[in-house]
Structure 1
Amino acid sequence: MIEKNRSFAESTRLQHRLHELVPGGAHTYARGSDQYPDEMAPVIERGSGARVWDVDGNEFVEYGMGLRAVTLGHGYSPVVEAACAAIRDGMSFSRPSRLEVEAAEDFLGLVSTADMVKFAKNGSDATTAAIRLARAATGRDMVAICNHPFFSVDDWFIGGTEMSAGIPSDITDKVARFSYNDAQSLAAVFDAHPGEICGVIMEAATAMAEPNPGFLEEVRALCDRHGALLVFDEMITGFRWSEHGAQSVYGVTPDLSCWGKAMGNGFPISALAGKREVMELGGLNTDRDRVFLLSTTHGPETASLAAFRAVVRAYANGDPIGRMEAAGRRLRDGVNEVVADAGLTGFVEALGRPSCLVFATRDADGQPSQAYRTLFLQEILDRGVLGQSFVVSAAHTDDDIDMTIEAVSGAIPTYRRAIEAGTVDGFLRGRPVAPALRRKAFPRRL
């Protein structure tokens, strides 16, 4: 039986304290309390598998799984044990460790299209290093960015978002944007800036968009024709589409690729990989001006490298992606069946790649709605489901999926009444959530 009307009192108390101590009340904007219904933003105590428990003792089936960073489940023993063993022998030294050799060999064994790799801690480290390399390799400044939601916290990307405060406007003058699955829009960028584009950065695919036949091949050809580097962001696709990356799924090889998230099953690790002649610009074997490339104190700390090696073994010895895809298909089909039975097809929908599902929420006019999204979140949170998406892990069991479908089934009657009323007023117990990247804050304290 699904519990309803949970208490979030201690979570709310701690969240208010976080706002006093931490700008935004969280260390990642996507984790902010403004992304959840009022006074229903759980503060997590612990997790195991696909379940988490908050400081109020509420148990949830979790989706999103650490912003897609956890594919094997919370507290996955082989990863934890490998990291703990490394920690006991020391985490950081004044010279490289054996683990740096072994982890690099493991990585390049997976990503055969790359010749060299360098590890770091954050995805933004890797993408910004890729842009720096592209600029150094080509002697050009401009970057062509695909219109995907997020690539980096650094100025070259954030300057073009709603949260551009503090970034000089001339930074964005060096960026041009093009549309996914529209090679002509990229060709137009090259034509508008002849001899100026250093590189193209994009995701090969997203949860919501697979490449049209020939699209990635056209992008590759345009880069070659105009002397620009092709950079694939594999933060999400790596270890969800394939442990070899989306580049292996679609058969198109980038010059550079950027990795992170699921590499360490929650441990902080990212990577920049690519062709030797480009990567060596940040090394010692170059006759050109050297690139200051990813020189970080904690990039090679042993715990995360050991965790990554354990993740590689888990993928080699099992089928995490197959389990994620099976769980995602079962969840998608179950949710959409419940919605259809309630006559709400088109208003609530689970959709996307099975290993990376999202849910859509639409208003009475069939338009995407933050207010109705908040109502849906409110109702499934009340029933023990935590997630801004339906992104699964290999740890999600049939019981987890069944509970989630049951929670959606319980949430749908309230959603339907709101659709019939044409408003969430009287159904939503607070303010609607808002996009994480927005120019203005809410007019009152969260």
Structure 2
Amino acid sequence: MDSAPKLNLQKSMELYTEAQKLSPGGMMGIRRPYNFVPGEYPIFITKGYGGHIVDVDGNDYIDMLCGYGPIILGYNEPEINRAVIEQMESGFCFSLVQPIQNQLEKRLLELIPSAEMAILVKTGSDATGVAVRIARGYTEKDKILRCGYHGWHDWCVEVHGGVPEAVQELTEEFPYGDLDALEQSLERNKGQVAAIIITPVGHPLAQPVMAPPPGYLQGVRNLADTYGAVLIFDEIRTGFRVALGGAQERYGVTPDLSTFGKAMANGYAISACVGKAEIMQVAEKKVFISSTFFPNSLEMAAAMKCIDILERERVLEDIWQRGEIFLNRAEQIFADSGVPATVSGIPPMPFFTFDKVDDLYKERRQCFYTETIRRKLFIQPYHHYYICYRHTDEDLEYALNAIYEALEVTKKKYPVK
């Protein structure tokens, strides 16, 4: 199997050169080229349709990154577009709130096991920030124990530049799946912990994605109760994807507070912090939360319509069923290839990791992702992938074939010695 030809990315590169003069790094964080394979991936996208994206050079890709998770249905969904336009015609940014806020919050309370009250915000970082502030206000404690990625704010950011050391000391990280480690952290910080915040499906950076081990989430729940900490499930990725009510619904463990976003509105910027009324009510007088744009209603209209479609079309059942087939097929392809790598994740959220069996694992990883992007399969080396509703069976079959061919090239270039 020969390497695929390099893509024409001339316009992307020209725009990137311009962007670096206009903004630090050209764009922010995870969208910078060094998070992919520099020189091989597109940098600017012009449009999306179904489960595909098209870059500024006209390259058409099967997109399994799905905007880093918000695209649960597909790009350019007509029903959602119409709902947003209809809301736009009535206005969407006012000094006061609109009735659709109540309608959406009622919907969330019906669907999410932990939801007795809700606060609508914009981004995942907004929602986790709200949850942590509420937990601190409710418990009158300061320490946060965290497991997973929770956004870019000072209390949780993984790159500490610009974050005061005193703030960093208020957050302590613990490993996923290890109840003993969590208990040790709670004991070490006894009487100081406001909240435990955890992504219920583990997704460490560039490491295998883990479904919760049997009894693990209930164990976390029990430890939170024992030590008097608020338990927060960060369901920004898992909400409306693992189940309509999130991982807490699927795995049967109810936290005190939860954060939802991404798939909630199929790409529109909205998220929510929901939870027990007793805890949430500190946001009425004791804890301050406000933003000019939190009440904007276009995103609420998109969320209402997205949830309509998820329920009507039984979308998540379809994604789980086809995702399971995809994961099983991918696992067999990797096993047959002999390339030292691990297929992990759950059906809606697969991931591939290159095993550190020798000094060539990074070269294998880069080769594999170079070959997949050249075959116009858009996945990413450091972030798990997603299956959306509009990925056709043909799309997924094409993706599996691209994976097979990329592994053949990788095996040929970087054999295990």
Give the shorter-chain TM-score range.
over 0.9
Name 2:206's counterpart in structure 1. Answer: none
Q: Which moved more, 1:93-102 or 1:215-224?
A: 215-224
Task: Say if 1:3 and 1:384, in contact at 8 Å, map to a contact too.
Answer: no
How far apart, in 1, do the equivalents of 2:186 and 2:39 lie?
Answer: 48
Tell whether 2:8 aligns with 1:16.
no
Task: Say if 1:48 and 1:75, in contact at 8 Å, map to a contact too.
Answer: yes
Match of 1:337 among 327, 332, 353: 332
Task: Say if 1:181 and 1:211, in contact at 8 Å, map to a contact too.
Answer: yes
Q: What letter matches 2:248 in structure 1?
A: Q
How far apart, in 2, do the equivalents of 1:193 and 1:5 lie?
Answer: 53
Alignment RMSD? 2.0
Name 1:39's counterpart in structure 2. Answer: 39
Task: Say if 2:265 and 2:307, in contact at 8 Å, map to a contact too.
Answer: no
How far apart, in 1, do the equivalents of 2:191 and 2:26 lie?
Answer: 44
How far apart, in 2, do the equivalents of 1:338 and 1:141 lie?
Answer: 48
Pick closer, same or farther for the CA change 1:361–1:190 going to 2, 3 Å. closer
How far apart, in 1, do the equivalents of 2:66 and 2:359 lie?
Answer: 27
Task: Say if 1:206 and 1:237, in contact at 8 Å, map to a contact too.
Answer: no
Match of 2:386 among 380, 387, 391: 391
Other structure's SS at 1:360 match: strand
Task: Say if 1:335 and 1:349, in contact at 8 Å, map to a contact too.
Answer: no
Other structure's SS at 2:7 match: coil
Name 1:164's counterpart in structure 2. Answer: 160
How far apart, in 2, do the equivalents of 1:407 and 1:88 lie?
Answer: 44
Task: Say if 1:11 and 1:41, in contact at 8 Å, map to a contact too.
Answer: no
Task: Say if 1:260 and 1:270, in contact at 8 Å, map to a contact too.
Answer: yes
Matches within 5 A, 1:426-445: none
How far apart, in 2, do the equivalents of 1:384 and 1:249 lie?
Answer: 33
How far apart, in 1, do the equivalents of 2:177 and 2:153 lie?
Answer: 25
Shift of the alpha carbon at 1:366? 5.4
Name 1:203's counterpart in structure 2. Answer: 199
Matches within 5 A, 1:278-293: 278-283=279-284, 290-293=286-289
Other structure's SS at 2:415 match: helix
Pick closer, same or farther for the CA change 1:41–1:400 going to 2, 3 Å. same
Shift of the alpha carbon at 1:170? 1.1
Task: Flag structure 2 segments of 5+ consecutive residues without an equivalent.
Answer: 204-208
Task: Say if 1:324 and 1:355, in contact at 8 Å, map to a contact too.
Answer: yes
Deviations 1:167-222 (A, max 9, x none): 11111221223222222222212221221111111112235222223222222222
Pick closer, same or farther for the CA change 1:89–1:198 going to 2, 3 Å. same
Task: Say if 2:114 and 2:258, in contact at 8 Å, map to a contact too.
Answer: no
Tell whether 2:142 aligns with 1:155.
no
Shift of the alpha carbon at 1:62? 0.6
* Misfit runs of 4+, over 4 Å: none
Name 1:358's counterpart in structure 2. Answer: 351
Other structure's SS at 2:330 match: helix
Match of 1:192 among 188, 200, 211: 188
How far apart, in 1, do the equivalents of 2:165 and 2:336 lie?
Answer: 51
Pick closer, same or farther for the CA change 1:421–1:281 going to 2, 3 Å. closer
Matches within 5 A, 1:42-61: 42=42, 43-61=44-62
Tell whether 2:129 aligns with 1:128.
yes
Match of 2:398 among 403, 420, 425: 403
How far apart, in 1, do the equivalents of 2:154 and 2:213 lie?
Answer: 31
Task: Say if 1:121 and 1:270, in contact at 8 Å, map to a contact too.
Answer: yes
How far apart, in 2, do the equivalents of 1:339 and 1:215 lie?
Answer: 29
Pick closer, same or farther for the CA change 1:139–1:56 going to 2, 3 Å. same
Other structure's SS at 1:301 match: coil
How far apart, in 2, do the equivalents of 1:319 and 1:232 lie?
Answer: 24
How far apart, in 1, do the equivalents of 2:254 and 2:72 lie?
Answer: 24
Q: Which moved more, 1:351-360 or 1:13-22?
A: 13-22
How far apart, in 2, do the equivalents of 1:402 and 1:130 lie?
Answer: 40
Task: Say if 2:6 and 2:40, in contact at 8 Å, map to a contact too.
Answer: no
TM-score (normalizing by structure 2):
0.92
Matches within 5 A, 1:40-439: 40-42=40-42, 43-146=44-147, 148=148, 150-158=149-157, 161=158, 163-206=159-202, 208-283=209-284, 290-293=286-289, 295-344=290-339, 347-362=340-355, 365=357, 369-388=361-380, 389-420=384-415
Shift of the alpha carbon at 1:349? 4.3
How far apart, in 1, do the equivalents of 2:416 and 2:343 lie?
Answer: 23
Q: Which moved more, 1:324-333 or 1:9-18?
A: 324-333
Other structure's SS at 1:336 match: helix
Q: What letter matches 2:214 in structure 1?
A: P
Deviations 1:12-39 (A, max 9, x none): 1112222222222223x22211122232
